[in-house]
């Protein structure tokens, strides 16, 4: 039976890489997919991996009808055997409903990939709706690591290397950024709670000892 599957995890856990791998494997078997994305780091209409892999995709911006797009493609004589939706956390809840309708009415598998929570540790609306509707929710097993070496479970937004917890939910940035730019970093819960990024940890290590060190 066709399924709506939500692959979730933090940044750097290989979501886009897996999306590209699924597309490759099915293409090698003669299947043709339709790929949607939203606000990818490589630009509009692209699905890219941090490993450097990239492919064309359909940009699913605000108000875009994903179900209608699939139906229109089929009515025009096009083919679609499955659907991939990357950066699915940015989709509106009604767009996630459209993906579920693709599964139920058009009997296609839909594979959605996205971050579960934002930099404030709150669910993205798109991810929340996917959790509510998906036939399966898969947590990716490639563990992203905090700067301390522990398993990263939270996404942090930084400005000039300093973690922030206020602001718009969606702002374009990346893990490879200039010191004074908006960036993102994955942290363990302990260091997210303490707002301690890799940059602030290095700064702390370079600071003078807070307690006097006496001579022997």
Q: Respond yes or no: is residue 87 known to be catalytic.
A: yes
Q: Given this model, what pLDDT does residue 170 score?
A: 64
Among 3-7, 106-110, 185-189, the minimum mean pLDDT is found in: 185-189
Helices (H), the chain: 15-28, 66-75, 93-106, 125-133, 189-193, 198-206
Q: What is the DSSP track for 183-201?
A: EEEEE-HHHHHTT--HHHH
Q: What is the pTM of this model?
A: 0.74
Per DSSP, 90 falls in state G
Beta bridge partners of 109: 82
Contact yes or no for 136/104 (Cβ under 8 A): no
| Exposure on the CB side of residue 157, measured as CA atoms within 13 A | 17
Statement: residue 213 has pLDDT above 70: no
**Among residues 32, 44, 87, 143, which one is catalytic?**
87
For the segment 195-213, the average pLDDT, to the nearest whole number, is 63
The confidence band for 215, taking pLDDT boundaries of 50, 70 and 90, is very low
Q: Given this model, what pLDDT does residue 180 score?
A: 59
């Amino acid at each position: 039976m066709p399924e709506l599957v939500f692959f979730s995890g933090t940044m750097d856990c290989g979501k886009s890489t897996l999306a590209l791998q699924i597309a490759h494997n099915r293409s090698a078997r003669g299947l043709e997919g339709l790929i949607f994305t939203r606000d990818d780091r490589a630009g509009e209409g692209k699905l890219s991996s941090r490993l450097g892999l990239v492919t064309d995709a359909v940009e699913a911006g605000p108000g875009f009808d994903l179900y209608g797009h699939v139906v229109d493609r089929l009515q025009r004589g096009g083919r679609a055997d499955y659907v991939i939706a990357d950066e699915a956390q940015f989709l509106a809840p009604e767009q996630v409903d459209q993906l579920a309708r693709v599964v139920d009415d058009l009997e296609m598998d839909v594979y959605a990939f996205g971050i579960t929570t934002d930099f404030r540790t709150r669910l993205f609306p798109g991810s929340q709706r996917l959790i509510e509707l998906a036939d399966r929710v898969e947590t990716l097993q490639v563990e992203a690591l905090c700067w301390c070496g522990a398993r990263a479970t939270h996404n942090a937004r930084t400005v000039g290397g300093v973690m922030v917890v206020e602001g718009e939910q969606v702002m374009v940035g990346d893990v490879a950024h200039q010191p004074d730019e908006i960036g993102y970093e994955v942290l363990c819960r302990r260091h997210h709670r303490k707002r301690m990024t890799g940059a602030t940890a290095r700064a702390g290590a370079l600071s003078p000892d807070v307690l006097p060190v006496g001579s022997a």
